[in-house]
Structure 1
Amino acid sequence: MNSSLIKNHFILNQKKRNQFCSSLLGDWEVLALPTEKDESYRKFPISSIDWNELGFDPKLKNDHYEGQTDDSANPLVSEDTLDVILNLVKHHLPKDYFTYVSVLFAREIQIVVCEDGTNDVYRSLLGDDARSLVRIFYVPRGYTSQIKLYTETKHDTERLHLQTIFDVFVSEGDSHVEILDEENCDEDLIQFRSVLVLTKENASVKLHHFPFGGFRSKLFLHSHLLGKGAEVTIDGVSALSKRNLKDLDMEMIHHADHTTSKISYKTIVTDRSHHIFTGNLIIPPNLKKVVAHQESFNLSLNKKARAEANPKLEVLAEDVSCTHGATVGDIDEEQYFYLLSRGLSPEESKSLLVTAFYGETIQRIGFSDQIKEGLESTIHGLLVGGK
């Protein structure tokens, strides 16, 4: 397992980790391995997974976090700040079985303090063993930060293997952060990942999610708008081929007045791939001046490929503005035949329409042209072949 992080990161020391993990054991003991009877997993084929093949015992409940890190001081934030971060994470920790697996089974908990400017975080996970990863990204008050998060998985054999990841983004008041989250997974990976976004007063978060590869993937993204004036925008593109299945649950939970959220996600499926998108919006009673928008666009390039969109809204307040929309369809035949009539080949026409579908999302990213071109090239290669 290789890791390359720029400056301003540290590993949570043994004392703090023991305190944090011990406080979770009560919930962990009552959590059960999910099945298709659970609403969040009803379309994910979890009962077909051979846990022995993956080298993981889902019934194991001992304290794997013991003895994994040293007792050195945490050098980049004060003890009080660290306690606030960990208590905030604990309070909003998703009650999902595999989130707890990540925290309790990971070799270490990484904490990255994100400075002004661009923070590059690269992680390469190698080998066939079941593995867990936990990362907490902390943006201090008033900072303007970009986080380029790139996670790559490789393995040694052709057998299936397991990975669980828990990522947390904590944005203090008046901070502004843009996150580019790119995954490149090998074709035999089964992944369970949970992302937690915690945004305080007058802070803004933009998260761009681009997952590539893998065999089976379940993602939970929980975003909590905790302070007045908080803004969160989530977008991205899933490009699926072969027999890849991705099941995404994205949730926006508003806790304060004058908060704004938006989910805008695009999916392209081909071959026999299957994509499931579920968007959840929760606005409790008595909140004022809340604006929320949710949209999901899905494009199918093969009759045997499937894409599903499931918008869900739980809006209990009155002084709000909420919209949602979803589309699932094939390439527009009228546009396709128009391009053919202009002299383009079928392959060129298809490539142009696919590029137009996802291109707008990539252009919204505030990173370099080189990074955006790399994303376009990866998507293009997965769906219509290399340029």
Structure 2
Amino acid sequence: MKPSRRQLFGYAGAAAAGAAVTGGAVVALDKDTPAPAPVSRNIDPYGDRQPAITAPSPRHGELVAFNLLPGTDKAALARLLRLWSADVVALGNGRPAPGDTAPELATANVALTTTVGFGPKVFELAGQKQAGPDELPVMRHDRLQDGWSGGDLLILVGADDELSVVHAVRRFVADARPFATPAWRQSGFWNGTGPDGKPVTGRNLFGQVDGTGNPAVGTPEFDATVWAADGGTTLVVRRIKLNLDTWDELTRSEQERAIGRKLSTGAPLTGTAEHDELDLEARDADGRPMIAANAHARLSHHSENDGRRIFRKGLNYVHDTGTTRESGLIFLSYQADITGQFFPLLARLDAADALNEWTTTIGSAVFAIPPGFQPGGWIGQKLLG
């Protein structure tokens, strides 16, 4: 016989009372037990350096490059950077930006960060020469498109909430309108968290663990790799289209041989764990190098590049046009010196990397990333103030 509604509610009430008596609901009922303090996930926007560089990779990111309008001089650019600096502080703390037309979309605790970059035109207006190349030489395998290349200014917004990223970018673009116009926009996603909730390196759309060889943040090796003498750094943005259809035609062992690492763990083909050192001398039963001469892991390894290192991050992307989907990687490389660190590595990979068969770079841009700022200051103040 089915219980009546009265009986059902009676059972529910009895169960709740029993839980309270036996302790099942003690935490909820005990007024003397303090509630756990909320954990802030806001990332301090102030500092000697822009914080996103050393922060974990965000789940969602968007980059917008801008071209300065003809009437924007040094003083006007300084006004824009003061506006942007106020936006960086407010949005990074989960507050509406000044003049925000949708203040309800400003959300705290989403690890939102904003990085500002300068192209060569900024240094020209400041009366200084940029300490690095205006752009990278076009590589043999590049098929660069103007719509993804160049730019006078860069905004890179990242957060663990996509709505917050879209809203923040909307504010930066609105504040820039009297001074600059967007040249290109790129958005993507990344998963740097494992199933257990712990940080992991993350994977690109090839299924490859991407970024294993990075120097560890906070180490002398990292500092020497990333930070320039002025406390800033440089950023290379490369939009790399991946041919997933032909990649999927390979066997798993063929894919791993092109990379030089195991797809399952990211371990080198000569090791068992992701961060095992590559044994570039190891050979298989047929006498062939275990890590092939053209494997990406070998060619990009610092020991094969006179000790040169970079600090790489990335965002996966998909770009749909009707029923056609383009998939790829927004490759972000931070280094103290583009000419001395990044370019020799890029040239080496362009010449021989096995992955060139399935990758095509269609966008390229370089930016100087100025130091951070303190309360009362603004981004680029030393250069333009």
Measured against the shorter chain, the TM-score band is: under 0.3
Specify the structure having the higher radius of gyration (Cα): 2
TM-score w.r.t. structure 2 length? 0.22
As a proportion of its length, which structure holds more helix? 2
Using CA pairs under 8 Å that are at least 6 residues apart, name the structure with larger relative contact order, 1 or 2: 2
